[in-house]
Amino acid sequence: MNRPWRRGSHVALALLLGSCGAEELADAGTDAGVDAGVDAGLDAGPEPLPDCGTDSPAALAACADQARYVTLLEAIEGERPPGSAHHGEVRDLAAQTLEDLGYTVERHDYGTGVNVVGVRAGATSEDRVLLSAHYDHIPGCAGADDNASGTAGALEAARVLATTEHDRTLVVALWDEEERGLIGSEAYAERAAGRGESIVANLVFEMIGYRDTAPDTQMFPEELGLLFPRELRQVERNDFRGDFIVLIADELHSEPSVAAFESMAARVGLPTVALMVSESIKRSPAAGNLRRSDHAPFWLQDAPGVMVGDTANFRYDRYHCSAGPDTSDQLDPAFSLQTIQAAVGAIATLLQAP
């Protein structure tokens, strides 16, 4: 994740009120679900997954393997700023893994960096469903959660999703230079828009490794509480436990993606909090907390984008190694597995043409 979220300020709130209007701010989260659904959110009981198989999205989700994920996570963590030796090793690992799984792999060289983009063509449709994560990090930090967890999760999901045919085209991408300002994903999103590619769904893994089930371990920024009061109440009712995955999504293009993810998350017992962002709010200069990862460049192209994450420094004090090393021994692989399972099931559903 490319920069710290900041707590709200009077200037930020004034800008939001000026650009959106008080009534719109009060209703910002209304499309995330009816009050009863939001109230139930973190307390919903899971329906068990079937055995691993290829006959349904839920069966595919059951095929995600925690040990494989951990092996990838441990191979990826470590200092990897662009230009470093390990940065190149991780890029090669991602490309080779996708090639071995049967994806057509492009090393998308956009000038200052290289995205790794794997494609499996759809049987009946050129519509594209994306799953992605950024593989770079900052100097002096191992970046296990940020974002070795997301990169490893995307590659493990890619393995499972490669075991079956699908109607739509699947794209698994690993972005470069996220930490320098979302440069790699921006280059891809602009190219995709220029080519007229039809992106119908887009999940972005951004830090999926850290969970804390103790009370008062989750912060909720002031300005987001203003925008999403019902979601704030949802977290408050759960005693501010840092045990959920947040979904930050544009409401115009990504409601089906969020619905598919939340449905499968319930099956695996993964709590979620969805922040559905309106067109006017997502472009507000004061809403930077909603645009901190690689979903944001797709928003600017009027394409879908859903950030899937553990809320970074609002839960994890080792974000960017600020309070100690961000290493894999600090993370919860069972939590990551649930997130991968939910994403696999959601993407398998979204890959089915209507």
pLDDT of residue 337: 98
| All structural domains of the chain with their residue ranges | 10-350
Please give the structure tokens belonging to residue 332: 């919860």
Cα 287 to Cα 215: distance, rounded to the nearest angstrom: 27
Residue 182 vs residues 48, 85, 179, 186, 291: alpha-carbon distances, Å: 37, 21, 7, 6, 10
pLDDT of residue 354: 84
pLDDT of residue 14 exceeding 80, the answer is no
Kindly write down the DSSP assignment for every residue of 228-287, as one continuous string. Answer: -HHHHHHHHHTTT-B-SEEEEEETTT-HHHHHHHHHHHHHHT--EEEEEE-HHHHT-TT-
Cis omega (within 30 of 0) for bond into 147 = yes
pLDDT of residue 145: 98
pLDDT digits (tens, 9 = 90+) for 192-217: 999 999 999 999 999 999 999 999 99
Do residues 209 and 310 make contact, with C-beta atoms less than 8 angstroms apart? yes
Least confident of 8-12, 40-44, 74-78: 8-12
The single residue listed with the structure tokens 């085209």 is 169
What is the Cα 212 distance to its own chain's centre? Answer: 18
pLDDT of residue 250 exceeding 60, the answer is yes
Alpha helices in 293-351 (DSSP H): 296-300, 333-350
- Pairing mode, strands 128-134 and 104-109: unpaired
pLDDT digits (tens, 9 = 90+) for 285-325: 878 889 999 999 999 999 999 999 999 999 999 999 999 99
Please give the structure tokens belonging to residue 321: 């190694």
Q: Which one has a higher pLDDT value, 105 or 46?
A: 105
pLDDT digits (tens, 9 = 90+) for 261-273: 999 999 999 999 9
Cα 99 to Cα 80: distance, rounded to the nearest angstrom: 22
pLDDT of residue 69 exceeding 80, the answer is yes
CATH class of domain segment(s) 10-350: alpha beta
The residue type found at 245 is: I
pLDDT of residue 26 exceeding 90, the answer is no
Q: Which one has a higher pLDDT value, 14 or 209?
A: 209
pLDDT of residue 28 exceeding 80, the answer is no
pLDDT of residue 24 exceeding 90, the answer is no
Please give the structure tokens belonging to residue 257: 């993606």
pLDDT digits (tens, 9 = 90+) for 129-149: 999 999 999 999 999 999 999
pLDDT of residue 289: 86
Rounded-to-10 torsion of CA 143, 147, 148, 151: -160
Question: Is 301 in a helix, a strand, or coil?
Answer: coil
Residue 235 vs residues 33, 204, 214, 229: alpha-carbon distances, Å: 15, 22, 13, 10
Give the pLDDT band (50/70/90) at residue 30: very low
pLDDT of residue 287: 80
pLDDT of residue 45: 61
Q: Which one has a higher pLDDT value, 354 or 189?
A: 189
pLDDT > 90 fraction of the chain, expressed in percent and rounded: 81
pTM: 0.89
